[in-house]
Amino acid sequence: MDLEIIQEDGAASGQTVTLDSSVFNIEPNDHVIWLDVKRIQANQRQGTHKTKERSDVRGSRRKLYRQKGTGNARAGDAKSPIRQTGGRAHGPRPRSYSQKVNKKTSRLARRSALSYKAQNDALYVTEDFSMDTPSTGDLRSLLSLHDLSDSKVLIVTTDVEKEIYLSARNLSKVNVREVQSLSTIDVLDADAVLMQHGALNYLTDLLAVAPQAA
């Protein structure tokens, strides 16, 4: 599959790039995508939730009243979970929700997500560009030149581009990722992926699968 490289001003550069079929033209594996997305979302959870149990609630451990002869149901101390002032029974405690998948699975998930975009004509390759100063208006104009003003756009940069990132902060539908931190969720969440040429080369080198010898 060949894509035309677009210039920064939205015009065709006259150059094309051939997409590696092992990265951008595979049969997407939905189960592997699900595994990687679940891992990413689980690792984003802080796991700092905590409620007070009976050992954490302030109060006396004295038995409220004698066991028999009062006509009331038997009761322990005021910190019992069945009482309004008591602690919660079996409440959440701090824990780690982190999950792991092997490297091959994670890379297959990214190849599957990128293949979805390429097969749906939602992948664009542009020349490497930078911005001298942050400007939301300039970035909005750039996206309009690519007819992407009304789409959720993922801009994948070759290197860390602070000015491009700052320019996109006020654009709710624009997400900027440096290629080394690109995840499966980033690709799936976008309607269109605008990728710099250098970022495309990096991904190809990272994710391409060598052909097996006969």
Ordered DSSP codes for 143-209? HHHTT-TTS-EEEEESS--HHHHHHHTT-TTEEEEEGGG--HHHHHT-SEEEEEHHHHHHHHHHH--
pLDDT at site 147: 82
Full-model pTM? 0.81
How many other C-beta atoms lie within 10 A of the C-beta of residue 207? Answer: 17
Residue 203 C-beta-side C-alpha neighbours within 13 Å: 33
149 - beta bridge partners?
none
Distance CA 193, CA 195 (A): 6
Task: Tell me which residue of 28, 4, 7 sits closest to 18, measured CA to CA.
Answer: 4
Which residue has tokens 């391409």?
208
Q: What is the pLDDT of residue 214?
A: 46
- Please, what are the domains in the chain? 2-44+99-207 (3.40.1370.10), 46-96 (no CATH)
In the prediction, which pLDDT does 211 show? 64
Distance CA 202, CA 180 (A): 8
DSSP 52: -
Return the number of other C-beta atoms located less than 10 Å from residue 35's C-beta: 19
In this structure, the strands spanning 2-6 and 123-126 are parallel
Q: What is the pLDDT of residue 32?
A: 97
Take residue 110 and report the two structure tokens written for it: 């990214």
Query: pLDDT value at position 199?
Result: 93
Rounded to a whole number of angstroms, the CA Rg of the chain reads 27
Length of the chain (residues): 214
| Averages of pLDDT over each 10 residues, the chain, 214 residues | 76 80 93 97 95 92 93 93 92 94 95 94 89 89 84 93 92 93 95 93 87 53
Q: What is the pLDDT of residue 10?
A: 65
The owner of tokens 């592997």 is 32
